[in-house]
Every structure is written in C-alpha cells, then in structure tokens.
Amino acid sequence: MNFNFLGIAFLFLLFTACKNNQQTLPFLGETIVENGKEIHHKVGQINHYTQDSTLLTNKDLEQYIYVADFFFTSCPSICPKVAKEMLRIYNEVSDNPNVKLVSFTIDPKRDTPERLRLYAENLGVDHKKWLFVTGDKDATFELANTFFVAAFEDAESPGGFDHSGKILLIDKEGHVRSFSEGTDPSTTPKLIDDIKLLSESYNTKGK
Amino acid sequence: MKYIYLIIFAFSIVSCNNTPYVQGKRLFAANCANCHMEDGSGLGELIPPLNKSTLLGQASMVCIVKNGIKDTLFKDSTYLLKEMPSFSHLSATEVTNIINFINYKWQPSFKEITILDVEQALKTCQ
C-alpha cells in the first residue's frame, strides 16, 4: 500500500519533470556545430536610434528578452493590426522588468525619432519599455532578414513597402525563440505564454 | 412539450450567429477592420474606435467612408496618422451595407438606413 503510493508519487514526479523539459523553447533558424559546440542563429547588428534619440545596440538589449516587429508609422495596411497585438503583449508584460518591446521602422526617411515619439505617445506607452527605433534603411532590411521578416520597398504595396507582420521573441543572447503572426490575434496568447516561459528560464538559471 | 425549449434554444443560437448584413460584414472585414479592428476598438489615439463613434446611427457617416477624412477628429493636437483613405470605389449599396453592419453591431438603438438615406447624405458631404 505504502509502496504503491510512493510509486505513484514517483511517476507523477517523472511526468511533471518531463513536461518541464518539453517546455523549453526551441532555437529558430539554423544551428551549426563548431568544435563540438552548437551555435544557434542570432539576429544581426542593431545600430538604431530610439524615439528618445538615444543609440540602441545589441549590447543594450543583452539584459533583456525582447519582442520585436517591423513596421512604419504611415502604414495603411497591416500595421495597425500588428500594433494592436504588440499593445496586447505590452499590457501583459508591463510588470515584468526583464521584457522590452522593440519596433523597427522600415521607413526611416519619414519615421524620424520625433515622429516615432509621437507614435508612441499616441499609443500611450512607456518610452523605456517599448522602444521605437529607426536606422539605416538597407541595414534595417538586412536586419529584418535575420529576424525572418521579409521587408523590402515595393511601389505596388500600400504605403510603398512590403513586409510581413511577424512578432518575434528574442532571448538575451540574441536568438530567435518564438514568434506569432501579428495579423492573426489567435496566435498571440501562445507568444505571451512563451515570453513568460523564457523569462522564467532566466530566473531559474539565476542569471 | 420539452422539445419546444430545445427548438427555441437551437433557433436562438442560429439566429444569433447570423448577421443580417452579410455583405456589410464582409466589406468591413476587408476594408476597415485592419485599422478600426474587428471589434471596432480602434488603436490608442492613432485610430478612433467605431464602437463608440458619435456618428453611429447617422447616414452622414457615408461621407467619411466615401471621401476619407483628414485631421478633423484629432484637430489641434499633435496626433499622427490623422488620415483615413477614401473608399470612393465602394458603391452606395456597399456603403449602406457597411454602415448598417456597423450600426447593427455597435448601436443598441439601431435603426436601419436605406440606400436613399445614403444617397441623400452624399449630396450634403463637403
């Protein structure tokens, strides 16, 4: 009787342990092995100015996990929808100091830091929590590729740019760990769960 | 006798799921929801909500849909994206259906407007 009980408790432990293991997020993109070490895909060089006109680089983001998207303020098509989902995420993570949001404009000509600042103010969000950044156009397009977001100029598209509405989750080391489709609100809850999971993984690692 | 409740229940489900303005719903999803959102909530202070618009129930809403709108709602402020594109390619019938759908969804004291109302209102647009 006692033994049975222990057995069940043990099984239960095993089960929950397995479940926890499964709950680490995958590394998206190509993983190569060098000298027996796995090297996961990382996002490219960030060298952008925020709505406060301060420089933002990969190094500044090392202490945070962050949620990224690519957009432009005068975008008449999918951007408001994606922004709405970003806002939903923003509200979910507002009390988690480990998480930031970064929105890269793909229209730096029009989207100056001042304009981005207005945009952020109109959204009513905290400038330190949700960064809207602008930089060199070609560099931003290249950077978008490393986030697996296709972005390019296209006269045929509404607003003159074509881009996907993906929202991406990046870890402290710069790896892409999860994403949602900003144009499909039903994919947002999973990303919110993944953000919590990733954030907690750093807490348990004691980092 | 018990069955009658079931039938009423089934009927109410079916009728609740059916929007009478099928074309309006489809056109709204295709043309308006990307900015004003499926639930009409808008986006912060960038795009006004439709579910609380003061224009609900008014045929003059057609002017905004047909001609677009710039810088009116948000005048005298530093708002961005103050522009709504015009939907001049939509016919009077299509706009009537969109407006009826919007009113049906967000105006409790909804009264259907007709194509005649819309054509009348179109004459008064600036």
Nearest C-alpha of chain B: how many angstroms from A83?
8
Q: Please, which residues have CB within 8 angstroms of residue B61's CB and are 6 or more apart in sequence? A: B53, B55, B99, B102
pLDDT of residue A207: 44
User: Can you name the CATH fold of B21-124?
Assistant: Cytochrome Bc1 Complex; Chain D, domain 2 (1.10.760)
Nearest C-alpha of chain A: how many angstroms from B4?
37
For residue B78, the chain A residue with the least C-alpha distance is A118
Phi, psi of B124 (to 5 degrees): -95, -5
Q: Where exactly are the structural domains of chain A?
A: 2-26, 34-205
Contact status of B29 with chain A (Cβ, < 8 Å)? no
Q: pTM of the predicted model, to two decimals?
A: 0.82
More reliable by pLDDT, A54 or A19: A54
In this model, does residue B40 exceed pLDDT 80?
yes
Residue B77 pLDDT level (bands cut at 50, 70, 90): low
Q: Which long-range contacts (CB under 8 A, 24 or more apart) does A27-34 make?
A: A27/A175, A27/A176, A27/A177, A28/A148, A28/A175, A28/A176, A28/A177, A28/A178, A28/A179, A29/A148, A29/A175, A29/A176
Average pLDDT rounded to a whole number, residues A20-47: 88
Contact status of A166 with chain B (Cβ, < 8 Å)? no
Per cent of chain A over pLDDT 90 is 71
For residue B45, the chain A residue with the least C-alpha distance is A122
pLDDT of residue B76: 53
Give B33's contacts in chain A (Cβ within 8 Å): 81
More reliable by pLDDT, B65 or B59: B65
Q: Indicate yes or no: CB of A81 within 8 angstroms of CB of B37.
A: yes
Per cent of chain A over pLDDT 70 is 88
More reliable by pLDDT, A109 or B1: A109
Q: Indicate yes or no: CB of A77 within 8 angstroms of CB of B34.
A: yes
Please provide the average confidence, as pLDDT, over all residues in chain A.
88
More reliable by pLDDT, B51 or A152: B51
pLDDT of residue B74: 62
User: Can you name the CATH fold of A34-205?
Assistant: Glutaredoxin (3.40.30)
Nearest C-alpha of chain B: how many angstroms from A61?
26
pLDDT digits (tens, 9 = 90+) for A3-30: 566 666 555 555 555 444 457 999 999 9
State the ipTM, two decimals: 0.73
Distance CA B28, CA A7 (A): 59
Q: Where exactly are the structural domains of chain B?
A: 21-124
Among B34, B79, B85, the residue with its CB nearest the CB of A81 is B34
Average pLDDT rounded to a whole number, residues B43-62: 88
More reliable by pLDDT, B99 or A18: B99
Among B33, B41, B80, the residue with its CB nearest the CB of A122 is B80
Give B43's contacts in chain A (Cβ within 8 Å): 80, 83-84, 87, 123
pLDDT of residue A113: 95
In this model, does residue A55 exceed pLDDT 90?
yes
Average pLDDT rounded to a whole number, residues A50-67: 97
Q: How many CB atoms lie within 10 A of CB A195?
A: 23
Which of these, A165, A145, A194, lies nearest to A26 by C-alpha position? A194
pLDDT digits (tens, 9 = 90+) for A78-137: 889 999 999 999 999 999 999 999 999 999 999 999 999 989 998 999 999 999 999 999
